[in-house]
């Protein structure tokens, strides 16, 4: 197995991060530094990452988490904020978030120790549709809807066409469902800002066909076998 894949499938980190560790000389095989990510790991080889011996492929765990407000999508935080790692702390395996949700965004986050899946799901080339429900200030007019559907400039980047549906228009705010397949930083907030509606709250309700459903904030559930197979086939 290629060295970067071996490290990712041991649940140490994502494949991209593994590439970095290898390039930086943080990986040793049988005692010698290897800087080649395609290095072929043979059965019985011992691989060290940052001085720590890693074990071969681990049991894979896949969970859907409902991220509450005020949690950071990270394994640790130097400012002492709550992290999504705490939401799955009773699971013995070390699970990593697949992609990111902002501190103030709630909803569906997938966490897994399958570095391979994380790599393919977050790769810009084949990002899956993510669906959000946004409450935004003001009126989402037809003109604004068609701008969002066409693509908007969010500061040097023009978004690809989004699927957008107004679920409810109140006098001073609207509830809108929006699906995008890119994952730029604060993309949904920036897209609404670009058409003149400020996002007041944002919840992710689906990643592809995986739905948040009735999962309570702060809770998690294991993905079903069908859901796991679906993600792997994307
Ligand atoms: N878009 C945002 O603006 N924030 C998120 O957390 C996710 C998508």
pLDDT tens, residue by residue, 190-218: 999 999 999 999 999 999 999 999 999 99
CA distance linking residue 96 with residue 153, whole number of Å: 31
Q: Are residues 72 and 108 in the same domain?
A: yes
Q: Which residues are catalytic?
A: 102
pLDDT of residue 124 exceeding 80: no
CA distance linking residue 95 with residue 59, whole number of Å: 11
Task: Please give the C-alpha separations between residue 226 and each of 95, 108, 184, 213, 232, in angstroms, as whole numbers.
Answer: 20, 17, 28, 16, 10
Q: Are residues 72 and 134 in the same domain?
A: no
Report which ligand 1 atom has the smallest distance to the Cα of 189.
3
CA distance linking residue 202 with residue 221, whole number of Å: 21
Strand-strand pairing, 105-112 and 199-207: parallel
CA distance linking residue 58 with residue 227, whole number of Å: 19
Mean of the pLDDT values across residues 119-144?
92
190: domain range? 130-207
Mean of the pLDDT values across residues 17-37?
95
Domain at 44, CATH number: 3.10.290.10
Q: Are residues 119 and 10 in the same domain?
A: no
Does the C-beta of 187 come closer than 6 Å to ligand 1? yes
Q: Are residues 91 and 108 in the same domain?
A: yes
Give me ligand 1 centre to Cα 34, in Å.
Answer: 37
Q: Are residues 22 and 45 in the same domain?
A: yes
Q: Are residues 96 and 135 in the same domain?
A: no
57 burial via Cβ count (<10 Å: 0-12, 13-18, 19+): middle
Mean of the pLDDT values across residues 28-39?
94
Q: Are residues 8 and 31 in the same domain?
A: yes
Q: Which residues pair with 180 in a beta bridge?
A: 130
Q: How many CA atoms lie within 13 A of 88 on its CB side?
A: 28
Backbone angles phi, psi at 229, to 5 degrees: -60, -40
Q: What predicted TM-score, i.e. pTM, was given to this entire model?
A: 0.81
Taking only the tens place, the pLDDT of each residue in 135-167 is 999 999 999 999 999 999 999 999 999 999 999
What pLDDT does 11 receive? 78
Higher pLDDT, 225 or 201: 201
Does the C-beta of 188 come closer than 6 Å to ligand 1? yes
Q: Are residues 113 and 140 in the same domain?
A: no
Contact (CB, 8 A) for 65 and 45: no
pLDDT of residue 122 exceeding 90: no
> What percentage of residues in the chain have a pLDDT greater than 70?
99
Strand-strand pairing, 52-54 and 130-137: unpaired
Does the C-beta of 105 come closer than 6 Å to ligand 1? yes
Report which ligand 1 atom has the smallest distance to the Cα of 180.
8
């Amino acid at each position: 197995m290629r060295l970067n894949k071996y490290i990712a499938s041991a649940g140490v980190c994502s494949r991209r991060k593994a590439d970095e560790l290898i390039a930086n000389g943080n990986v040793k095989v049988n005692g010698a530094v290897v800087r080649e990510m395609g290095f072929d790991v043979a059965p019985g080889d011992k691989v060290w990452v940052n001085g720590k011996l890693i074990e071969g492929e681990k049991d894979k765990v896949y969970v859907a988490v409902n991220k509450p407000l005020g949690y950071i999508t990270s394994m640790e935080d130097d400012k002492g904020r709550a992290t999504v790692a705490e939401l799955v702390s009773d699971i013995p395996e070390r699970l990593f978030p697949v992609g990111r949700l902002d501190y103030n965004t709630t909803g569906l986050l997938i966490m897994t120790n399958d570095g391979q899946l994380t790599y393919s799901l977050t790769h810009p080339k084949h990002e899956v549709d993510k669906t959000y429900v946004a409450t935004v200030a003001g009126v989402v007019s037809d003109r604004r809807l068609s701008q969002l559907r066409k693509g908007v400039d969010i500061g040097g980047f023009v978004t690809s066409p989004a699927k957008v549906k107004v679920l409810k228009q109140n006098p001073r705010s609207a509830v809108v469902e929006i699906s995008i397949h890119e994952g730029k930083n604060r993309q949904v907030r920036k897209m609404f800002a670009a058409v003149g509606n400020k996002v007041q709250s944002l919840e992710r309700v689906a990643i592809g066909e995986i739905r948040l459903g009735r999962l309570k904030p702060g809770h998690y559930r294991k993905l079903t076998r069908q859901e796991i197979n679906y993600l792997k086939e994307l």
